[in-house]
Chain A
């Protein structure tokens, strides 16, 4: 599996965009970038995934660089409820039975 690197923590003001970076310089051509988050020791929750094109859903946007060596998760209008640990995971599509979690990024949204 490709290794990912994320900053241990970030702060964001409520209502502003939160941009969470992830480096995955050893990503293979068939590996997708997945983002999950874990709110206060609850079970992790899927956010979004992508291969090489930018993706957007109701929760977030995912920007993947052209060389695919890094990506950014964007929460466009962060709320206090977005305070969580965010995990960037690189996996082959359909192999989500074997996820490798690092320590992730603790995003704290401040009022």
Chain B
């Protein structure tokens, strides 16, 4: 099982550029989430989705867009990158029933210069 797959693993952007961080899961999980982690901090929730077509904002949504057209994929779009968005981004998926723990991807390390 691949679990949660994030691409790319590393990315350098120039200020003002846009890009999409990809997240895919093969566990048929209804729930998916995006977090960012800054140095020395815990993870903070950016956006989440409780099913295809349903998304909502987390704690730090500004500057990011998401959509959920399929159960498997949950891309995170940076509209106009800023140095403050330099961070490590983690995608997670989970299920409302059965084993309810969240499974995390290995992260995307983004640097905005």
**Which residues of A are interface residues toward B (Cβ below 8 A)?**
34, 36, 41-46, 49, 87, 93-94, 96-104
Contacts and interface: CB of A to CB of B under 8 A. Distances in A.
Chain A contact residues: over half helix, strand or loop, or mixed?
loop
Chain B contact residues: over half helix, strand or loop, or mixed?
strand
A85 B44 CA distance: 15
Contacts of A49: 100-101
Contact of A94 (B32, B33, B44, B100): B100
Contacts of A101: 35, 42-44
Interface of B: 4, 31-33, 35, 37, 40-45, 48-50, 58, 88, 90, 92, 94-97, 100-107
Nearest to B29: A97
B88 A41 contact: yes
Given A43-B4, A87-B42, A97 B104 contact: no
